[in-house]
């Protein structure tokens, strides 16, 4: 085992690096580097990704391993699994981290099984013991509990980390770039991406947003969701929804926040016509400030929010939005 | 087609969660055990696949005697037979060992076309066993599938849609493969009364630990418990987030009405700016 701590870059559909990568680099530097006595390194897997090495350096990566391969142009499970497993076997890092995105969830457990590592998912804290064992905290039991998980004698120690859990702090380095050739046999690729579509949106992404406005079943229609979008746009917020709203067809599935959907922990979460189910709270219960607008005084959400108005959203939201707008335009 | 569903039993997390006196696990005394909700979607998807293409649905589950109840529920929904990997002593088993043992029993059960699992179990919430089973079996997987668009048993392929951060993606995968199921991909059926009656007679094979052949898959009896795990829980906390609970209500009835609406909106904006400092 070397003493290196690796952060595998999480790429967006457009090929840019996801924020969670920088957060993980910073946190690895702050919490793990001294304990393991090794450098924090970035890993780039993809096609035409070498040019991104400098960005990882900006957040403290001292080395960047790069695998350039046409088969990695779009994310595909087997390609990523092969490439990362080969790198791990060759260089034997102590710790390997990536974001708990849809992609991270898809290939990290498989890589761990392949290289014989221990793995945890969706960490909200990372740390290490004095004898160089990774120790993380995560959520369990529909996010009602927080277990601390300690890694035992298997290397490397791998974990995904929840986006928006750590601060990305610039710490500019000029990383040494190490190009690694990995052969990926096309015959080993048994999943083929036949369509990949980015949603056109100028709004921030849910998992990265500082503020989130969310709508529930009480919105009543897709058309009525405009009230949520309007408020969100004034606040520069991302827009989320409950499963009931998604099921009813008011908005697309990728807006779902909760146990199944996205996990968010913004500074401000505004829940509009949302009852406050356990499953919804599993995805937003750690938000700093929760605001509820609901017409039912008995709605469970009023037992677990900071501020709220008991009222009809169609009465309350327009004047609330107008006031937020005028306040923000003054400052 | 031979369709497998890997089904787990979980603690019902709607209940209040208490930490046990040892401090490193959740107190399960008095908790309800249910079929993992995500696995209900997996069972439903399997049954629909069988209804469309013919074949059989086999349930595979691992855990103590109590999980038989969950297995019966899956059989009552319409699955044909089940394999129960049984042992009462693995409360500290880690996800890795679970995946390995289940994969090895699947291998022994012969050829299959497709495996469905849940995306995660709602108590432990690791979300890794499905993918690890696929890796152990050396078959491709598609995780978090929001819609199985098409299965073509003759051409040995399936087309699945999955939602990704900031968009969606359609994937074609070769069979045999494994699919992990989030919610909302279908509507799980309830077990009918005749279904429940029939389930009692459906074949259920018990596999005791002694029959697993642990050494052949690189495990020992030890590695199934805490001693040999790769990752263990050393502490568990149930945080109580103290919320402010400042709820603005109407004078005569709970809902704000008429002129109250404007002042409620104003008050809320003020609280968010001056007290919470978030806008
Ligand atoms: C396995 C599983 C996974 C799940 N995963 C998720 C998940 O990831 N995310 C998720 O959100 N849910 C999830 N759910 C579903 C969850 O259990 C709830 O059904 C869902 O969150 C309810 O959504 P809601 O609050 O919009 O709807 P409801 O519970 O129907 O609440 C609607 C609310 O709107 C209020 N309302 C109605 N009209 C108005 C009005 N005009 N003005 C003001 N208020 C109004 C009502 O008073 C009510 O409180 C999951 C369920 C299961 C079984
Ligand atoms: C209090 C407690 C007691 C336990 N006691 C025992 C015991 O005595 N014997 C024992 O063998 N295990 C026992 N377990 C382990 C438990 O059954 C699960 O296998 C384990 O919690 C898997 O968690 P995970 O988060 O890794 O699953 P995830 O990776 O989140 O699960 C994903 C999917 O994998 C499949 N899956 C996961 N586990 C199983 C399973 N066991 N059987 C079938 N499919 C599964 C399901 O499709 C599930 O949706 C116990 C767990 C707890 C919390």
Query: The complex's ipTM?
Result: 0.94
Q: Read off the pLDDT of each residue in B19-47 and give the average, rounded to a whole number.
A: 95
Helix A102-115 with B129-137: angle, nearest 10 deg: 50
Q: What is the pLDDT of residue A330?
A: 84
B254/chain A closest Cα distance in angstroms: 6
Which structure tokens are listed for B21? 């006196």
B102/chain A closest Cα distance in angstroms: 14
Q: Which CATH class is domain A5-188?
A: alpha beta
Going from the Cα of B146 to the center of ligand 2, the distance in angstroms, rounded, reads 23
Q: Which of A140, A205, A311 comes nearest B264 by C-beta? A: A311
H-assigned helices in A166-275: 226-235, 243-247
The Cα–Cα gap between B230 and A136 comes to 13
Q: What is the pLDDT of residue A257?
A: 97
The 10s digit of each residue's pLDDT in B202-251 is: 999 999 988 988 888 888 777 676 666 789 999 999 998 899 999 999 99
Which structure tokens are listed for A191? 């999943």
Ligand lying closest to the C-alpha of residue A247: 1
B150 contact residues in A (CB cutoff 8 A): none
The Cα–Cα gap between A143 and A135 comes to 18
Cβ of residue A262 lying under 6 Å from some atom of ligand 1: no
The 10s digit of each residue's pLDDT in A116-138 is: 999 999 999 999 999 999 999 99
- The pLDDT mean for chain B works out to 94
A310 contact residues in B (CB cutoff 8 A): 247-250, 254-256
Is A7:A42 a contact under the CB 8 Å cutoff?
yes
Judge whether residue B90 has pLDDT over 80: no
Q: Which residues in chain B (149-188) have CB-CB distances under 8 A to chain A?
A: 159, 162-174, 177, 182-184
Whether B135 sits inside 8 A of A78 (CB atoms) is: no
Q: Which of A143, A190, A243 comes nearest B140 by C-beta? A: A190
Best probe residue, ligand 2, of B37, B45, B124, B143 (max atoms within 8 Å of C-beta): B124
How far are the Cα atoms of A202, A243, A255, A267 from residue A252, in angstroms, in the given order?
16, 10, 6, 24
The Cα–Cα gap between B160 and B169 comes to 8
A246 contact residues in B (CB cutoff 8 A): 184
The 10s digit of each residue's pLDDT in A272-301 is: 999 999 999 999 999 999 999 999 999 999
Buried b / exposed e along B71-94 (16+ C-beta atoms within 10 A): bbbbbbbbbbebbbbbbeebebbb
Cβ of residue A273 lying under 6 Å from some atom of ligand 1: yes
Q: What is the pLDDT of residue B226?
A: 62
- For A154, the closest chain B residue by CA position comes to B230
Which structure tokens are listed for B235? 């502490």
Q: CA torsion sign, B225 to B231 to B232 to B238?
A: negative
| Element containing residue A178 per DSSP (H, E) | strand A176-179
Is B99:B133 a contact under the CB 8 Å cutoff?
yes
- For A321, the closest chain B residue by CA position comes to B265
Q: Is A18 on the interface with B (CB under 8 A)?
A: yes
B26 contact residues in A (CB cutoff 8 A): 140-141, 145
The 10s digit of each residue's pLDDT in B45-77 is: 999 999 999 999 999 999 999 999 999 999 999
Length of chain B as a residue count: 279
Is A293:A271 a contact under the CB 8 Å cutoff?
yes
Q: What would the CATH number be for the domain defined by A206-330?
A: 3.40.50.1220
The Cα–Cα gap between A287 and A284 comes to 6
Best probe residue, ligand 2, of B93, B144, B232 (max atoms within 8 Å of C-beta): B93
Q: Is A114 on the interface with B (CB under 8 A)?
A: yes
A326 contact residues in B (CB cutoff 8 A): none
pTM of the entire predicted model: 0.95
Q: Which of A191, A207, A303 comes nearest B142 by C-beta? A: A191
* Atom number in ligand 1 closest to CA A293: 43
Which structure tokens are listed for B225? 């418990």
Q: Read off the pLDDT of each residue in B260-279 and give the average, rounded to a whole number.
A: 97
Q: What is the pLDDT of residue B218?
A: 83
How many other C-beta atoms can be found within 10 angstroms of the C-beta atom of residue A308?
Answer: 25
| Element containing residue B180 per DSSP (H, E) | strand B177-181
Residue B201 DSSP class: T
The 10s digit of each residue's pLDDT in A307-321 is: 999 999 999 999 999
C-alpha radius of gyration, chain A, whole number: 21
The Cα–Cα gap between B42 and B36 comes to 10
The Cα–Cα gap between A300 and B126 comes to 27
Residues of chain A with pLDDT under 70: 331
Q: What is the pLDDT of residue B225?
A: 64
Q: Is A73 on the interface with B (CB under 8 A)?
A: no
Whether A316 sits inside 8 A of B13 (CB atoms) is: no
Helix A102-115 with A77-91: angle, nearest 10 deg: 50
Q: Which of B128, B230, B264 comes nearest A151 by C-beta? A: B230
Residue A175 DSSP class: P
Cis amide bond preceding A156, omega within 30: yes
| Element containing residue B82 per DSSP (H, E) | strand B81-86
The Cα–Cα gap between B184 and B197 comes to 28
B254 contact residues in A (CB cutoff 8 A): 297, 310
Three-state helix/strand/coil letters over chain B = CEEEEECCEEECCCCCCCECCCCCCECCCCCCEEECHHHHHHHHHHHHHHHHHCCEEEEEEEECCCHHHHHHHHHHHCCCEEEEEECCCCCCCCHHHHHHHHHHHHHHCCCCCEEEEECCCCCCCCCCHHHHHHHHHCCCEECCEEEEEEEECCCCEEEEEEEECCEEEEEEEECCEEEEECCCCCCCCCCCHHHHHHHCCCCEEEEEHHHCCHHHHCCCCHHHCHHHCCEEEEEEECCCCCCCCEEECCCCCCCCCCHHHHHHHHHHHHHHHHHCCCC
pLDDT band at B189 (very low <50, low <70, confident <90, very high): very high
Q: Residues with beta carbon inside 6 Å of ligand 2?
A: B 6-8, 28, 36, 38-39, 61-64, 87-88, 90-91, 93, 95, 98, 102, 117-118, 120-121, 123-130
Q: Which residues in chain B (192-221) have CB-CB distances under 8 A to chain A?
A: none
Length of chain A as a residue count: 331
Going from the Cα of B121 to the center of ligand 2, the distance in angstroms, rounded, reads 7
Going from the Cα of A327 to the center of ligand 2, the distance in angstroms, rounded, reads 51
Q: Is A60 on the interface with B (CB under 8 A)?
A: no
């Amino acid at each position: 085992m070397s003493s290196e701590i690796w952060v595998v870059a999480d790429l967006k559909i457009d090929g840019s690096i996801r924020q969670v990568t920088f957060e993980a680099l910073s946190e690895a530097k702050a919490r793990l580097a001294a304990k393991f006595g090794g450098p924090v390194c970035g890993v780039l897997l993809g096609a035409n990704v070498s040019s991104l090495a400098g960005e990882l350096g900006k957040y403290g990566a001292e080395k960047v391993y790069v695998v350039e391969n046409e088969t990695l142009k779009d994310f595909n499970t087997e390609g990523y699994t092969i490439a990362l497993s080969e790198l791990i076997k060759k260089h034997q890092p102590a710790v390997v981290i990536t974001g708990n995105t849809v992609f991270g969830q898809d290939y990290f457990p498989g890589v761990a099984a392949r290289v014989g590592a221990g793995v945890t998912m969706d960490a909200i804290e990372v740390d290490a013991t004095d004898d160089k064992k990774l120790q993380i905290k995560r959520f369990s039991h529909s996010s009602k509990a927080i277990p601390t998980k300690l890694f035992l004698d298997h290397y490397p120690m791998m974990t995904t980390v929840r986006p928006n859990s750590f601060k990305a702090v610039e710490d500019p380095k000029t990383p040494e770039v190490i190009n690694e050739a990995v052969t990926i046999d096309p015959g080993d690729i048994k999943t083929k991406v036949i369509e990949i579509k980015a949603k056109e949106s100028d709004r921030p992404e849910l998992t990265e947003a500082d503020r989130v406005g969310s709508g529930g079943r009480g919105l009543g229609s897709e058309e009525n969701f405009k009230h949520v979008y309007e408020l969100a746009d004034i606040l520069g917020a991302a827009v989320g929804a409950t499963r009931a709203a998604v099921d009813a067809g008011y908005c697309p599935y990728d807006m779902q926040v909760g146990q199944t959907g996205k996990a968010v922990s913004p500074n401000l979460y505004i829940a509009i016509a949302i009852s406050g189910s356990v499953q919804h709270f599993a995805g937003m219960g750690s938000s700093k400030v929760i605001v509820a607008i609901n017409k039912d005084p008995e709605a469970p959400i009023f037992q677990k929010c900071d501020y709220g108005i008991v009222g009809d959203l169609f009465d309350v939201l327009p004047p609330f939005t107008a006031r937020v707008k005028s306040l923000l335009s003054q400052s | 087609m031979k369709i497998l569903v890997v089904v787990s039993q979980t603690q019902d997390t709607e209940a209040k969660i208490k930490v046990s006196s040892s401090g490193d696990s959740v107190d399960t005394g008095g908790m309800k055990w249910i079929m993992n909700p995500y696995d209900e979607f997996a069972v439903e998807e399997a049954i629909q696949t069988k209804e469309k293409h013919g074949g059989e649905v086999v349930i595979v589950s691992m855990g103590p005697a109590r999980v038989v109840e969950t297995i019966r529920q899956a059989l009552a929904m319409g699955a044909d037979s089940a394999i129960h990997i049984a042992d009462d002593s693995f409360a500290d088993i880690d996800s890795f060992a679970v995946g390995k043992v289940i994969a090895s029993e699947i291998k022994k059960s012969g050829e299959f076309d497709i495996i469905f699992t849940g995306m995660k179990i709602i108590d432990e919430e690791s979300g890794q066993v499905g993918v690890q089973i696929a890796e152990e079996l050396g078959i491709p997987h598609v995780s978090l599938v929001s819609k199985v668009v098409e299965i073509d048993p003759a051409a040995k392929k399936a087309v699945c849609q999955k939602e990704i951060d900031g968009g969606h993606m359609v994937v074609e995968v070769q069979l045999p493969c494994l699919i992990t199921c989030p919610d909302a991909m279908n509507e799980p059926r309830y077990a009918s009364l005749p279904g429940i009656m029939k389930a009692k007679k459906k074949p259920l094979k018990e596999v005791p630990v002694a029959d697993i052949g642990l050494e052949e898959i690189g495990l020992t009896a030890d590695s199934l418990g805490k001693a040999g795990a790769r990752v263990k829980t050393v502490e568990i906390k149930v945080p109580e987030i103290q919320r402010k609970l400042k709820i603005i209500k109407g004078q005569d009835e709970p809902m704000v009405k008429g002129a109250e609406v404007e002042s409620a909106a104003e008050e809320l904006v003020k609280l968010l700016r001056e007290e919470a400092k978030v806008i």
